[in-house]
Structure 1
C-alpha cells in the first residue's frame, strides 16, 4: 500500500483558468505550487523533480526555489543538491493546525474508535482535488494504514473524499467533478459512477464507503459534517486493510460509533 495518492488538477489547468481573472498573480501561484509539490513523507526534492511535478520550465523553477529559499520557505541541502521545506513553511502549517480546536476535542474519541476497530481513524479537509489529513489516530494493532497528518488522498476515490462531495453544495460538487473529469476522460465514467453511488448511499446509509475503490486492499467508511461554528466542511473516516476490516464490520459495528462521534463534533 502506498502512503498517499494525490489527484490534484494539473497546474496547467489551474493557470489557464486563472488567465481570465485580472486579479490573479501568476508568479505567486507558481511559488505556492512549488511548495505544494512537497508531499507527506517526502523530505527533499530537486529542481528537476519540482519542474516535473509543477509542469514548469526548470529555469523558472530555479528562480522560484531561489526566492523561496531567500524567504525561508525552502532550505537548500548542499550535500543532496535538493530542497526541503523551510521554517517559514512549517510555521504556516503549524499556525493553521493550531486554529483547528476541533482536533484536540476529537482526538480522544477518534482514538477510542481506532482501538475498537483495530483500524485508522482520520479527520480531513479538502484541498483542491485532495483531502488532507489534519488529525490521525491508529490502534496499537500492527496492521493499519501508515498515513499521517499532512497526507493527501484523492477526493474522488476515497470514502473521506466522497463523504465531502455528498455533504457539499451541488454547485461546488459539480465544479469539483468537472475538474476530476479533466484529469482522465478514459476513467471518468467509472469514477463518476462511484461518486454518484456514494452520494446516494450517503443519504441512505448515513455514510460513504470505499471498498477497494481507492486501493484494492483497503476498505473504509466516512462521514462529513459542518461544525455549527460555520467553519469549513470536515470529513472523518475509519479504514484499514480489507483482510482485517470487512465491509460488514464497518457498516454494522463501526458506523454507529462513527455517527455518534460525528454528532459530538458537529455540535462544536
Structure 2
C-alpha cells in the first residue's frame, strides 16, 4: 500500500516524480520545512511525520540535519523544533530581490485607501497563493492577513486570477499535482470564463463566507512567474457590485501601471 500523506493545505500535494535528476532526500528535507504553518512556532518529530507521511526515523534524521545547517532550531526543553535563522536569510534574500514589491507598495496602498479594502500582490507556491506585499485601507481591519500569508489556489480570487494569467502549459502541469485534479480542471475553466467576462476573477464568499474579492493576474517579465493583485474586504464593507463597478477599474489601472513600470525596469 502506498503511504498516505497529509498535505500542508487542503489542495497541496508534493508532485510525484520519476525524473532521474530529482533528489528525493532534498525534497523530503524541504517538505519538513514546509510543515511549519503560520501561527505554529514549534513542531515535534511525531507531528512532522504525521504531516509528511514519512517514517519517524527518517524525520528524526532530517530534523537533525536541518538543525545542524541552521534551518531548524531545536528547543530541548520541549523536544520540538522551530524554523531557524537560515530560513529567514533565504526568505529575506528572495524578497529583497523582488523589485516589484518596492514598485507595487505605493500603488497597493493608494488602491487600498481608495476602496477601503485589503489589496495584495501575490504569486503561486505549489497549490496555494502567497502574499508578497499587502496594504490595508482604513476600514479593512477585520481580515487577519499579512505579507507571507498563504491562501487557497482553487477557492480564492487571487488563485483563480493566477490560473487565468498562467500559460496553458503551466496550468496543465499543475493538474497531476492536485489532490483533486477534476476540481482543479473545473477551477481553471471558471477562471478563464470569469477573465473573459469580467477581465478579472471573483470570490464572493468562496474563500471565506463573509469576504468578497476580485483579482487580476499579469506577467511581470524579467524571469518572474505570473503575479496577481487582489482587492477585497469583509462583505459588510464591499459588495460584489461595488467591487465590479467601482474597484475593478482602479484595480486594472494598478495592474497596468505595474506592467508598465516593470517594462521600464527591464529596459533600463
Taking structure 2 as the reference length, the TM-score comes to: 0.88
Name which of 6, 9, 12 aligns with 2:12.
Answer: 9
Structure 1 residues 72 and 100: alpha-carbon distance in aligned structure 2, compared to 1, 3 A threshold? same
- After superposition, give the CA deviation of every residue in 1:79-121 in whole Å (9 maximum; x if it has no partner): 3322111111110000000000110111111111112222211
Name which of 178, 203, 222 aligns with 1:210.
Answer: 203
Give how far 1:173 is off.
1.0
Q: Distance in 2 between matches of 1:119 and 1:81?
A: 42
Name which of 21, 33, 36 aligns with 1:35.
Answer: 33
- After superposition, give the CA deviation of every residue in 1:216-248 in whole Å (9 maximum; x if it has no partner): 222110001112434221111111212222101
**Unaligned regions of 5+ residues in structure 2, if any?**
1-7, 263-268
Structure 1 residues 105 and 31: alpha-carbon distance in aligned structure 2, compared to 1, 3 A threshold? same
Q: Is the 8 A contact 1:122 1:133 kept in 2?
A: yes
- After superposition, give the CA deviation of every residue in 1:4-46 in whole Å (9 maximum; x if it has no partner): x9345334xx2xx22x111111111100111111122322211
* Corresponding residue of 1:116: 114
- Is structure 2 residue 220 aligned with structure 1 residue 219? no
**Unaligned regions of 5+ residues in structure 1, if any?**
none
- Is structure 2 residue 258 aligned with structure 1 residue 260? no
- Stretch deviating more after TM superposition (221-230 or 25-34): 221-230
- Is structure 2 residue 189 aligned with structure 1 residue 196? yes
Structure 1 residues 89 and 228: alpha-carbon distance in aligned structure 2, compared to 1, 3 A threshold? closer
**Displacement over 3 Å in runs of 4+:** 191-195
- After superposition, give the CA deviation of every residue in 1:133-156 in whole Å (9 maximum; x if it has no partner): 111111232543211111111111
* Corresponding residue of 1:145: 143
* Corresponding residue of 1:58: 56
Give how far 1:250 is off.
0.7
* Corresponding residue of 1:95: 93
Secondary structure of the structure 2 residue equivalent to 1:44 = coil
Residues paired across the two proteins, number: 254
Secondary structure of the structure 2 residue equivalent to 1:137 = strand
Secondary structure of the structure 2 residue equivalent to 1:122 = strand
Taking structure 1 as the reference length, the TM-score comes to: 0.88
Secondary structure of the structure 1 residue equivalent to 2:222 = coil
Q: Is the 8 A contact 2:117 2:140 kept in 1?
A: no
- Stretch deviating more after TM superposition (167-176 or 88-97): 167-176
Secondary structure of the structure 2 residue equivalent to 1:173 = helix
Q: Is the 8 A contact 1:125 1:233 kept in 2?
A: yes
Secondary structure of the structure 1 residue equivalent to 2:216 = strand
